[in-house]
Amino acid sequence: MYSCAGSRTCEGRPGSRGYEFHDARTYASWDIDYLKYDFCNTDAQKAEGAYKTMRDALFAAKRPMVFSICEWGSTEPWTWGKNVGHLWRTTSDIMNCWDCKVNWGGMGWTLIMDKNADLGRYAGPGGWNDPDILQAGNGVLTDVESRSHFTMWCMMAAPLISGNDLRFMSPAMKEILTNKEIIALDQDTLGKQGYRWWKLDGNIELWIKQLANNEIALCFFNRSDVVKTIDFDWNRYFSNLNGKTYGITGKMIIRDLWLKKNIGTTSTNLRAEIQAHDVLTIRLIK
């Protein structure tokens, strides 16, 4: 279900302002499980207070619902949202493009990712950073870009909501959106948001996500427009991943989550070519 904290929604339809408890009871009577609550036409309303009012209305309706806060990150909801809802938008609206911008604030998914990248300390079980709906398969992004987009949302433990028309998915897009090994990164029980560790070579980024059972996921993301080659020396960098933070010691098996097979161990350098706008996503397993 979609509604809005203002008198009208962003599309000009009736909002919930002044009718929060009535609307919440109605949603409960309809067996609604999920409410996305926007923030258009709110006049002088304060975001935190408006969302608390609907939170209280949902509690009073006595039906468990996922409550999605959507005020586009304008009041830093990651600092207050966990006591109010279950997820909160951290950015303006996502566009189905790589890195475009529009004058009202919408932007491509890589720029949305950058906005969300440093907010991991606020997220975890019970409350999640929401960098907006997936654009994979929406026609403008290539299959490679869609794969990278889906991967990065899973690395960031983001809510996964498909924004494409599921009736007309290509086989390639279905394969992307149903990759259980990538989805497992998003749904890992530890609930840690991955973070950008550093850039290896210009536009090659290395992202790290701590996982349950003392495992770890690494994603090498090629943001450039050309093929990049990596030669990752575990002896040089692996020591930074050891110890109390990750609990990783000794030789680890390297599993490629898109090839869905083991590709070696950390006893030798990880060498690979990564296509433009593509990812190499691995899981280290004891």
CATH number at residue 263: 2.60.40.1180
Q: Which of 89, 115, 145 is the last residue of a domain?
A: 89
Structure token digits, residue 248: 């990783």
Q: Is residue 188 part of a domain?
A: no
Q: Is residue 94 part of a domain?
A: no
pLDDT of residue 103: 85
- Using pLDDT thresholds of 50, 70 and 90, give the confidence band for residue 198: confident
Question: What is the average per-residue pLDDT within 262-282?
Answer: 96
pLDDT of residue 52: 98
Least confident of 38-42, 131-135, 150-154, 263-267: 263-267
User: Which residue matches tokens 């433990």?
Assistant: 157
The domain in which residue 2 lies consists of 1-89
Q: Is residue 118 predicted with pLDDT exceeding 60? A: yes
Q: Is residue 48 part of a domain?
A: yes
Q: Which of 52, 73, 89 is the last residue of a domain?
A: 89
Q: Is residue 181 part of a domain?
A: no
How many angstroms separate the CA atoms of 211 and 198, rounded?
19
The answer for residues whose C-beta is within 8 angstroms of residue 28's C-beta and 6 or more apart is 61, 62, 63, 65
Which residue did the predictor score with more confidence, 105 or 270? 270
Amino acid at 22: H
Domain count within the chain? 2
Q: Is residue 143 predicted with pLDDT exceeding 60? A: yes
Q: Is residue 243 predicted with pLDDT exceeding 60? A: no
The answer for residues whose C-beta is within 8 angstroms of residue 39's C-beta and 6 or more apart is 4, 5, 6, 47, 50, 70, 71, 72, 74
Question: What is the average per-residue pLDDT within 277-284?
Answer: 97
Q: Is residue 159 part of a domain?
A: no
Question: What is the average per-residue pLDDT within 232-237?
Answer: 86
Q: Which of 63, 89, 115 is the last residue of a domain?
A: 89
Q: Is residue 36 part of a domain?
A: yes
Q: Is residue 106 part of a domain?
A: no
User: Which residue matches tokens 């996921």?
Assistant: 217
For 2-61, what is each residue's pLDDT tens digit? 999 999 999 999 999 999 999 999 999 999 999 999 999 999 999 999 999 999 999 999
- Using pLDDT thresholds of 50, 70 and 90, give the confidence band for residue 263: very high
pLDDT of residue 251: 85
Q: What percent of the chain has pLDDT over 70?
A: 96
Please tell me the pTM assigned to this model: 0.95
- Using pLDDT thresholds of 50, 70 and 90, give the confidence band for residue 241: low
pLDDT of residue 240: 65
Residues tagged active-site:
38, 93
Q: Is residue 157 predicted with pLDDT exceeding 90? A: yes
pLDDT of residue 199: 84
Q: Is residue 155 part of a domain?
A: no
